[in-house]
Amino acid sequence: MERREAIQRKNGFWHVVKSLLSGLRLTWRHFLNADKRRQPVPVSDASYFKQPEGLVTLTYPYEAIPVPENGRYRLHNEIDDCIVCDLCAKVCPVNCITIESVKATEEIGMTSDGTKKRLYAPVFDIDMAKCCYCGLCTSVCPTDCLTMTPVYDFAEVDIKNMIYHFTDLSPEQAEEKKQLLAKQQEEMAAAKAAALAARKQG
Amino acid sequence: MLAFVLTLVLLLGIVIVLAYAERKVAAFMQDRMGPTEAGPYGSLQSVLDVVKLLQKEDIVSAAADKKLFKLAPILIFAAVFAGFAVIPFTPDLIPAGIGIGVFYLLAIISLDVVGLLMAGWGSNNKYAMLGAMRSVAQIVSYEIPAGLAILSVVIVCQSLDFQEISYQQGALMNRFPGLEFETNWLFGIEALGIDTTRIGGITTWNVFRAPVLLVAFVIYFIASLAESNRAPFDIPEAESELVAGFHVEYSGFRFAVLFLAEYSMMVLVSLVAVILFLGSWNTPLPNIGPLQLAYWTTGTVGGLSGMLWGGFWLLSKTFVLLFLQLQIRWTYPRLRVDQLMHLCWKVLTPIALAVVLLAGIWRLLMI
Ligand code: SF4
Ligand code: SF4
């Protein structure tokens, strides 16, 4: 009974006119506010959730909301600081890091935090199409050379381009290093054999 | 012939502006930005849309009734476009100044329905058929309240000539041959004794000459929304249920013509509303004592200034109504079929009949 009365009351002519007008008022208000724009402020900004008026569209390629600092986006490896320890490849849950290492014949140098580098990386590939951006690799990396960057717009037409090559060696250089290593090992083996022969004779 | 070309060009211009405005207004009301890429603020968007449509393949489906299918868009557009022939654009510019303009307009617009039915039937598609049937049912029904509302104007003005009706609604009334000795009274009530013949402006618009026409105007406006298949009466084209209604099978140039016809219909019904109720090409500013605002903003009839002022007032009033149409589209939800028919037959038609009666009495007793 109450409900029926309520319906009757809401159905009166003036009530309908009033509600029709309030609808028009609503769209008109939004129309008038069209000169205001939502500002592309980062989520950390105090006004992020307090912009109730104006157009909400972001014309993306021209403007973008800055991503949070600790966001996880595209990986970057600073190969000069990488000691090729293979930890990142081992921890990766989707196996998207491929590392091949070649022992250096002598010490190559130091990373920026003072760790000695003893390995070359002829292959250091990360397949960004497989990566799930979990960030595990960046936390295990002992020299902090593997990091997340704020870049998130890196779609490619050819999926092969999603594999990022971070090595700083050209194939020729890699081949040279391999030969150097083989030669050194040969020499060492020869020296060992000579020493062994000398001991036998002695 | 010149009038034909001029009207067509003018109409194309207005429709292109309207199509752009529709998208922008819709976007702004929904807090979006609308087209931004094509030209400054996306203003070339609708031009590009037209160019795109003209480049598209003109597909006629294999099972369609080809003759009807091909003829329908032309018929629909021709029917709407023919309506523009009797629209007075300025005090002395009217493509065809015939004495029975109102009658002709109502008759020629009804031809639209035949075209819609041809398109729907010829497409051999269930959605097109449903859309066409709904459209025809709706247009035929709403022609009755619209016709009655127009009839009450005709009763008050005692004329079927758009130009004569226009002259009656302004300070220039006595310049029209046959109206030299007529007088306008405030609200059309002679007993008040306020002669507005020389005051003109908004006081002589039809909605003020006979305030009962204000109701007629509202009825006409609602019915005109339905006649041009606009929301909230857009069930014939209900995107969410019928895909696109009667024009679902059309593409390329034919679709462009249908689109043009639809927007022309919007423009036409708004023009008619302005001419019949809102003072046509007359200025809204009245003469107040020595401030001859009405005369200043009318220009000299027959001269260039009269031409420009007349066109300006007519078009700006039309654009206000068009904006209202857009706003209504983006505000109200669509009516159900039964609600649509209820509104037409049980609400608008009886009220319109009462308005006709009142207008007759008004004409007899007051003036
Ligand atoms: S972020 Fe996760 S998935 Fe991506 S490479 Fe590192 S460990 Fe693998
Ligand atoms: S964990 Fe760091 S240092 Fe070790 S291989 Fe990976 S990137 Fe290089």
B53, B73, B97 - which closes a domain: B53
The pLDDT score that the predictor gives to residue B357 is 92
Q: ∠ CA(A4), CA(A7), CA(A8), 5° rounding?
A: 85
CA distance B235 to B264: 19
Residue B334 and residue B228 share a domain: yes
Q: Are residues B202 and B248 in the same domain?
A: yes
Do B87 and B233 fall into the same domain? yes
pLDDT band at A93 (very low <50, low <70, confident <90, very high): very high
Nearest to B28 among A24, A30, A59 (CB): A30
Domain that holds residue B188: 56-366
User: HSE of B349 in the Cβ direction (CA atoms, 13 Å)?
Assistant: 12
What is the tally of structural domains in chain B? 2
State the CATH architecture for A75-184: 2-Layer Sandwich (3.30)
Are both B44 and B145 inside the same structural domain? no
Shortest CA distance to B99 belongs to which of B86, B80, B113?
A: B86
Which residues sit with their C-beta closer than 6 Å to ligand 1? A 75, 91-94, 96-97, 126, 131-137
Cβ-contact B61, B123 below 8 angstroms: yes
Same domain, yes or no: B1 and B89: no
Average pLDDT, chain A: 86
Residues, chain B, total? 367
Structure-token pair, residue B310: 């007349």
Looking at B12, B27, B53, which one is the last position of a domain? B53
Q: Band of the pLDDT at A9, cuts 50, 70, 90?
A: low
Domain ranges of chain A: 75-184
Q: Do B42 and B117 have their domain in common?
A: no
Q: Are residues B33 and B85 in the same domain?
A: no
B78 and B46 inside one domain? no
Q: Does B114 lie in the same domain as B33?
A: no
DSSP A63-113: --PPPPTT----EEE-GGG-----HHHHH-TT--EEEEEEE-SS--EE-TT
What's the predicted TM-score (pTM) here?
A: 0.80
- Measured in Å, residue A170 CA sits from the centre of ligand 1 at 25
Pick the closest to residue B206 from B102, B105, B109, B328 (CA basis): B102
Per-residue confidence in pLDDT tens, chain B, 367 aa: 777 888 888 888 888 999 899 889 889 988 888 888 888 888 888 888 888 888 888 888 888 888 888 888 889 898 888 888 888 887 777 777 788 888 888 888 888 888 888 888 888 888 888 888 888 888 888 889 999 999 998 988 888 888 888 888 877 777 777 777 777 777 767 767 777 777 777 777 888 888 888 889 999 999 988 888 887 887 777 666 767 778 888 888 888 888 888 889 889 999 999 988 888 888 888 777 777 777 777 777 777 777 888 888 888 999 999 999 889 988 888 888 888 888 888 889 999 999 999 888 888 876 6
Q: Are residues B44 and B87 in the same domain?
A: no
pLDDT tens figures, A44-72: 888 888 877 888 888 888 888 888 888 88
Q: Do A31 and B28 touch (CB under 8 A)?
A: yes
Ligand nearest to the CA of A112: 2
pLDDT of residue A8: 66
* Domain match, B95 and B149 both: yes
Instruction: Please tell me the distance between residue A132's alpha carbon and the centre of ligand 1 in angstroms.
Output: 6
- In DSSP terms, B168 is beta-bridged to none
Inter-chain touch B29–A56, beta carbons under 8 Å: no
Cα distances (Å, whole numbers) of residue B9 to A35, A67, B3: 32, 50, 10
Q: Based on the domain organization, do B156 and B35 belong to the same domain?
A: no
Looking at the partner chain, which of A20, A56, A59 has a beta carbon nearest the beta carbon of B31?
A: A56
